[in-house]
């Protein structure tokens, strides 16, 4: 236990560090953020970069476990930072897989079910790093939450083949791939829109076989996925179980089998299945009707010779978290669109991220292969829904709270800002490996809120090594002291406390840990028994 004077010193130091860096006032329960009452402008905050730069020595990052089905194409790129060139290795690589030692890409296929315990290595002129890694060949995909990028909240209906290629290039050039980001996902607007004014969006809806066509902005889908795969990344696509997508483009209704076969033919690895016009198909909003299209599509996906991760996008209807896994979903949206209104993003973050999650005890439903999805990371430059882009309306503190909460609740880390325009601040938010380690923890046990006093909240997540990740959040309008007690966290005895954003040890504490947290901010720490 630290002496009182030492504790006070630590608190003052932590206070000074967090004042400028790190959640938003709770809004009403209404889902229509656009109609929320206007709020006072947030005070100016410096965009303090908390994440230290990675060292020159090699370090292996990202997930520690990966799932694949027997016979499916295998692709996993070892995420590693450090001075280039890096030579990669895998000790115990199972038969059927090969490693490109220059890129770290593992490819091939596994013929039979089984669990393979291997050791990843990365070596450069500064040293060698190693890390245990588990490959699970079986029926379950997405053993950790998905990490990647989605086009919607920056490019919406303007997305093109060139934009998707540039996004894949940027995921590599920015180094995001070195921290575990994997998926490059097209959202809506890639298929034909029959009533479009832009001729590039017109054309034959389907080919002679009945398979769906892409519009003129995507002249060769297979070439696009080949480009993405060649970089060691995976490709995602979007459609709806209804006749049309949310933006009015042709979707899968009554062509589900053919469309999935088309996605396999094109080489896609991820499918976002958005409810949209299925409203006009469903007889009612009973759970049976809500489940029907997702049962159908997951059954079709299960028969394919290619792994396609399935995201159920239906905004939390019918308490989807209670049955999403049973109908084959690997993740499911838990609420409405976080960015449905540009100005409403801060309120939506705290309503949908904090309050919906806690009120419904969503931590009870997530786990390996089945994740609660509160929507994308709305950082950097986003669509302003007026034909342009603008910096996220989230303050720096709110952005730290955003990423911290997603890591604590084991949410997919899918960035949806302009990946080609990443500044150092946004990149620091996306690539802190100690924060990512929390999100990607192989135990897969989502965190929960364990204490709330007014605007102050404490969240905890149990991790595989017996440690705890703890978030101290302040949803109030001024600096406040937030305390996490050992009783609330489920720990006893002295605990070693580490600040995850700054990757800095804070000392050993007993009984509780307290820190001053800035307006709408967070202090994210990890506790180990000392």
Distance in angstroms (rounded) separating the CA atoms of residues 351 and 185: 26
Record the tokens describing residue 494, joined without a space.
Answer: 């002295």
Among 231, 189, 195, smallest CA distance to 75 is for 231
Record the tokens describing residue 305, joined without a space.
Answer: 């010779």
- Is the dihedral angle over the CA atoms 166, 225, 242, 375 positive or is it negative? negative
| Cβ pair 351, 390 in contact under 8 A | no
Burial class (CB within 10 angstroms; exposed 0-12, middle 13-18, buried 19+) of 343 = middle
Among 224, 239, 228, smallest CA distance to 272 is for 239
Among 265, 172, 282, smallest CA distance to 221 is for 265
- Is the dihedral angle over the CA atoms 496, 133, 69, 437 positive or is it negative? positive
Q: Is 259 one of the annotated active-site residues of the chain? A: no
Q: Is 437 one of the annotated active-site residues of the chain? A: no
Among 408, 406, 399, 347, smallest CA distance to 375 is for 406
Question: Cα angle vertex 202, ends 385, 237, to 5°?
Answer: 60
Distance in angstroms (rounded) separating the CA atoms of residues 104 and 116: 18
| Cβ pair 518, 22 in contact under 8 A | yes
Record the tokens describing residue 43, joined without a space.
Answer: 């005070």
Characterize 286-303 residue by residue with b for buried, 16 or more Cβ atoms within 10 angstroms of its Cβ, and e for exposed.
eeeebbbbbebbbebbee
Which one is catalytic: 161, 274, 433, 441?
Answer: 274
Query: In the block, which residue shows the tokens 């109030």?
Result: 476
Record the tokens describing residue 292, joined without a space.
Answer: 């029907």
Which one is catalytic: 307, 337, 352, 375?
Answer: 337
Record the tokens describing residue 449, joined without a space.
Answer: 């809120």
Record the tokens describing residue 31, joined without a space.
Answer: 């889902």
Beta partners for 372?
332
Residues 6+ apart with CB under 8 A from 198: none
Furthest C-alpha separation in the chain: 78
DSSP 8-state secondary structure symbol assigned to residue 214: B
Tell me phi and psi for residue 516, to 5 degrees.
-80, 130
Q: Which residues are catalytic?
A: 274, 337
């Amino acid at each position: 236990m630290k002496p009182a004077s030492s504790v006070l010193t630590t608190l003052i130091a932590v206070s000074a560090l967090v004042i400028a860096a790190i959640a938003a006032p709770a809004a009403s329960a209404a889902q229509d953020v656009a109609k929320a009452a206007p709020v006072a402008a947030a005070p100016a905050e410096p965009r303090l970069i908390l994440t230290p730069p990675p060292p020159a020595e090699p370090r292996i990052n990202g997930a520690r476990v990966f799932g694949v089905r027997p016979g499916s194409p295998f692709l996993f790129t070892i995420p590693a930072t450090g001075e280039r060139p890096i030579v990669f290795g895998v000790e115990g690589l199972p038969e059927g897989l090969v490693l490109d030692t220059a890129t770290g890409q593992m490819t091939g296929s596994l013929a039979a079910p089984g669990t393979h315990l291997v050791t990843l290595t990365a070596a450069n002129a500064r040293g060698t790093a190693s890390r245990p890694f588990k490959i699970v060949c079986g029926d379950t995909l997405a053993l950790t939450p998905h990490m990647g990028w989605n086009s919607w909240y920056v490019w919406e209906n303007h997305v093109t083949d060139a934009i998707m290629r540039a996004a894949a290039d940027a995921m590599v050039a920015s180094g995001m791939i070195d921290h575990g980001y994997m998926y490059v996902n097209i959202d809506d607007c890639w298929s034909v829109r029959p009533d479009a004014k832009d001729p590039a969006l017109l054309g034959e809806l389907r080919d002679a076989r009945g398979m769906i066509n892409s519009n003129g902005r995507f002249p060769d889908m297979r070439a696009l996925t080949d480009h993405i795969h060649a970089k060691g990344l995976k490709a995602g696509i979007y459609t709806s179980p209804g006749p049309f997508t949310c933006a009015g483009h042709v979707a899968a209704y009554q062509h589900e089998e053919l469309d999935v076969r088309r996605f396999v033919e094109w080489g896609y690895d991820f499918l976002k299945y958005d409810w949209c016009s299925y409203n006009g198909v469903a007889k009612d909003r009973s759970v049976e009707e809500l489940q029907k299209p997702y049962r159908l599509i997951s059954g079709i996906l299960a028969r394919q010779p290619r792994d396609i991760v399935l995201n159920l996008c239906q905004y939390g209807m019918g308490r989807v978290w209670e049955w999403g896994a049973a109908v084959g979903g690997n993740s499911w949206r838990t609420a409405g669109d976080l960015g449905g209104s540009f100005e409403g993003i801060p309120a939506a973050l705290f309503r949908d991220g904090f309050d919906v999650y806690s009120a419904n005890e969503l931590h009870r439903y997530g786990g390996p292969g089945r994740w609660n999805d509160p929507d994308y990371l709305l950082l950097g430059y986003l669509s302003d829904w007026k034909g342009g882009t603008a910096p996220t309306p989230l303050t720096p503190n709110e952005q730290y709270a955003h990423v911290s909460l997603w890591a604590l609740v084991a949410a997919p880390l899918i960035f949806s800002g302009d990946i080609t325009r990443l500044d150092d601040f946004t990149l620091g938010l996306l690539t802190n490996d100690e924060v990512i380690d929390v999100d990607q923890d192989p135990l897969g046990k989502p965190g929960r809120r364990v204490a709330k006093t007014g605007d102050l909240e404490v969240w905890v997540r149990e991790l595989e090594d017996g440690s705890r990740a703890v978030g101290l959040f302040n949803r109030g309008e001024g600096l406040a002291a937030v305390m996490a007690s050992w009783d609330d966290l489920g720990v006893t005895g002295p605990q070693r406390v580490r600040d995850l954003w700054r990757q800095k040890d804070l000392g050993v504490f007993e009984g509780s840990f307290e820190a001053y947290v800035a307006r709408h901010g967070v202090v994210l720490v990890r506790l180990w028994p000392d």
